[in-house]
A and B are shown apart, each in its own frame.
Chain A
Amino acid sequence: MTESSEAKIWHEIASPFCGIASDDLTIKVEGNTVTVEENGDAVTKKGFETPITDLQPRINGEQVSLEQAVNHAAELLTQSKQPVIGGLATDVNGLRAAMALADKSRATVDSMDSDSAFRNILVLQDTGWMVTTLTEVRNRVDLLVVVGSDIEVDYPRFFERMVWNKESMFDQDIASRQVVYLGKAPSGDASTSPAGKKAQVLTCDDADLPEVVSVLRALVNGKQIQAEQVGGIAVADLAKLAEQLKQAAYSVITWASGSMTFDHAETSIQVLCEMIKELNAETRSNGLPLGGKDGSTSVYNVSSWQSGFPMRTSFNRGFPDYDPYLSDSKKMLANGEVDVLVWVSSFNVSRTPPESTTPTVVIGRSGMTFNQEPEVFIPVGVPGIDHAGRTFRGDSSVAVPLRKLRDSGLPSTFDVLSAIELAMPN
């Protein structure tokens, strides 16, 4: 731990806390105090500025050495018949260590954001999709349709960086870009253009969204609709949107699956994705699934390349066994199927494990507090603050490097999980 009071300024720092992973942050570090000086927002400020509290691991609330905590966790996993390694909010190397440990301890891996992620992954695995990435959006979008999501809450800088940027490299008139909300209305003004042009908003209840997107797809395909209203939206307005989509040169339809919490939202996402494929018969159109906060895009990437399958994969039988329903760790915990939970959460102190009677090991960001003290708590550093690392942006094509900004002495998730793996007998 450095006691130096001399401030150090870092430029072009990437944020691992939000899915768009803005990497233009200026950060000031004095000792262990971190301040976002430029380009911060509510998500990144909380992410970078949450102070360190604990440095010492605990077993049942008593301070112990790191080695004691690691050995205790290894012993729990060695005795366990059905462990879960969950949470999985960490950087790529932390995830690599988690996968190696899961393989050895025959655990099931799951992510704290799986419910949201699977609304997309199930579509990818069933019919696929046509999607684009942030830089393409920034330079090409002429019509942005935001479906079922109030995206500025979780992605505060999305519009500033991807829609109302100063210029496009293809000489597009940025002011002419159109934004349409379908479903939820925006909670703020991020989507309003610099000249004051407000987004068009077609609101409906979440429960009506499946019907609304189905009608929109039918209209894109030239089908006649008898009804005049669907979910409170005039069919004439949807017909106009369908026409806008067909006329656009590069429309982008975006959704944040985390906000689509109604049952089987994946089927609505699938309808949108099939509509996008159909639009591409004549013009260009793409989806942009927004997600990936706290490293969740890294989870399915690392899990897929190391095992072939995304999270919700069990190693209980000695090989990867993928089941997005049976291996839902929340259900497994609620059903009493888990005898040890290892909860990995190195980004956000408020993302603690679900309450349960299951013996729990938390590999968590220093500063985390618990209603229910876990059997083992090992405070770890934050990737991109306490140690270097890499995280995937929500659009998955770009992995950004994370820098070590301070010397807190906290171990990394990789260090701790690798030590636990090493401490387990072969």
Chain B
Amino acid sequence: MITKLTGGRIYDPAHGIDGEIHDIYVRDGRIVDAPVDGKINDEVDLRGKVVMAGAIDMHTHIGGGKINIARTMLPEDHAADVVARTELMRSGCGHAAPSTLTAGYRYAEMGYTAGFEPAILPINARQAHMEMGDTPIIDKGGYAMLGSDDYLLRMMAANNDQEAINNYVAWIINHTQAIGIKVVNPGGINAFKFNQRKLDLDEKNKYYNVSPREILMRLARAVKELGVPHPLHVHGCNLGVPGNLGTTLDTMEGIEGLPMHMTHIQFHSYGTEGDFKFSSGAAEIAESINRNKNITVDVGQILFGQTVTASGDTMRQFAGSPHAHPNKYVCMDIECDAGCGVVPFKYKDQSYVNALQWMIGLETFLMVDDPWRIFLTTDHPNGAPFTSYPHLIKLLMDKSFRNDTLSTLHPEAQKASHLATLDREYTLYDIAIMTRAGAAKLVGLADRGHLGVGGAADITVYTDNPDREKMFSKPDYVFKDGTMVVKDGDLINVTWGTTHVVKPEYDSSVEVELKKYFDRYHTQKMGNFKMSDDEIVDDGRGSLTVQPLHKGGKV
């Protein structure tokens, strides 16, 4: 069964293709060469259409304990966006913390074919994967959170060698079914349990005498040496604190050239200048990113309206809880592993701080030169729900729209930003890099994010429209693994995507100490902590895709 997609204008940055017209052939869910005998079974006319690979959200909170707390605690937010059952789709709810089923449908309807949960607490991995297992159509995966877990901090306090740390990190990736490692407020979630209320880059955890900088070095090295393609994913110190800019610069410069991904950098780019003692640090941050080629970032753009912030950063979420809107929040210490904080929040365009946050995010997008090293996120749902991506794309691609919006915001904030002077407009090729080719490369997905022969047939087709929000809201077609799942913006098929993982090798002797640790201190046995491959496959709907490691990594 060969399907020919005829005559589309192709944007495939992985192969340097920028708007060339050519045909694509699809067989058994993969992109294939044109058949030698010319025989095709089906043809879709894409003449005049814009064709890209399916989009990949490399940082979106779609599964796990904290987002499920957000769902449970926000009935009033769901009430305005309940979704009825159809012949094809289950009912559910949307907006800030959508139900898993609705999240999958809506991602697909927007042309997204993969999403990665960035903060899987190892102890909560089973829940995260069960929720993602109930998220239809898109592929998924996640980054396991380390850095505040007592096991790592004990190893570091005991001055264990890097090899031992590498073994532990590989073991965690394997048994939480992850594709990367994330660190959140390095050591800070742990320090909060000892009643420390802030932890700067060189401050020590008062029990372990270990600093965030040391944790970052150990984990960044482990990820590199194991050959895990996704660089260490870092939610830095001091999220949201005015003046955190200096720490962020120090974090990026201080990693000694190791690959590192700084996530939702917007929340870490604040100065203390001006009457409000809150200013944009985007220019200095962008300059540092441009200079340090080992660094990648996603923005964590905020957009105005009601949302909910859900983070592993208990320390900073507790500090932010007085700003909760509506006035309720959850903070949790979790299993000597990590923690979480869930704080509903409303970003207001007439708030000086929120307006400037909006500008800082956009300044960062526009001042980082290389679209292969910056990624389009709202840190869903923390900056805004993922359904606002088409609006964000329009802000990036359309300068007059951007400046018109800017002119309506808090006037003092407008004066504090030089966003209006930035002329750059993202091109379709830039968007394809940021949301497809670059994202696949960053996450380590060898067969996704591109339209070359052998790649998965995850393909999104748009009608070119100068209103980029309209264009990116409703693709003409979305193909997932070769199956047409969306036609004219509407879902026509529900399929189930795979779970992407990596399987770096570890020395099985690592389990000797781990077993003792679980037996002595935990309330769960090591054997029950480990998630088996079968649990992902579950009742047959799920599947695992093991992505290749970088050279030097051992599978």
Contacts and interface: CB of A to CB of B under 8 A. Distances in A.
A125 B68 CA distance: 12
A322 B75 contact: yes
Given A23-B528, A284-B193, A128 B329 contact: yes
Indicate the member of B69, B321, B335, B342 with the most A CB atoms within 10 Å: B335
A401 B524 CA distance: 11
A254 interface: no
Contacts of B79: 322
Q: Chain A interface residue count: which class?
A: 35 or more
A396 B65 contact: yes
A398 B98 contact: no
Nearest to B97: A308
A287 to B, nearest CB: 10
Contacts of B331: 130-131, 280
Interface residues of B, number: 68
B527 interface: yes
A318 B332 contact: no
A414 interface: yes
A1 to B, nearest CB: 23
Interface in A1-58: 12, 14, 20, 22-24
Nearest to A14: B528
Given A127-B327, A128-B329, A136-B336, A390 B126 contact: yes
B539 A414 contact: yes
Majority SS of interface residues in chain B?
A: mixed
Majority SS of interface residues in chain A?
A: mixed
A413 interface: no
B90 A103 contact: yes
B292 interface: no
A401 B85 contact: no
B318 A307 contact: no
Contact of A135 (B69, B83, B194, B336): B336
A388 B121 CA distance: 23
B332 A133 contact: yes
B357 to A, nearest CB: 23
Interface in A367-401: 390, 392, 396-401
A415 B354 CA distance: 50
A126 interface: yes
A216 interface: no
B327 A308 contact: no
Interface string B70-103: 0111110011001111010011110001111110
A72 to B, nearest CB: 24
Contacts of B123: 135, 397-398
A304 interface: yes
B528 A400 contact: yes
Indicate the member of B192, B337, B524 with the most A CB atoms within 10 Å: B524
A206 to B, nearest CB: 27
A83 interface: no
A166 B519 CA distance: 11
B242 to A, nearest CB: 21
Interface in A174-224: none
B60 to A, nearest CB: 15
A397 B335 contact: yes
Contacts of A14: 528
A12 B130 contact: no
Contacts of A321: 82
A399 B130 contact: yes
Contacts of A237: none
A283 B197 CA distance: 10
Interface string B305-328: 000000000000010010010011
B330 A307 contact: no
Contacts of B82: 308, 319-321
A47 B68 CA distance: 29
Given A124-B330, A301-B68, A319-B82, A401 B528 contact: yes
Contacts of A162: 523
B425 interface: no
Contacts of B532: 401
B163 to A, nearest CB: 23
Nearest to B523: A134
B84 A319 contact: yes
A96 B130 CA distance: 10
A315 interface: yes
Given A124-B72, A397-B121, 20 more contacts: A22-B523, A23-B528, A92-B130, A103-B85, A130-B330, A133-B332, A133-B333, A133-B334, A136-B193, A136-B334, A138-B523, A284-B192, A286-B333, A306-B100, A309-B75, A320-B91, A390-B130, A397-B127, A399-B126, A401-B535
29 contacts: A12-B525, A23-B524, A93-B538, A103-B91, A124-B69, A124-B73, A125-B73, A127-B327, A133-B335, A135-B335, A139-B150, A162-B523, A167-B521, A169-B150, A170-B207, A306-B101, A307-B93, A308-B92, A308-B102, A309-B71, A309-B75, A322-B78, A390-B126, A390-B130, A397-B334, A398-B124, A398-B524, A401-B532, A401-B535
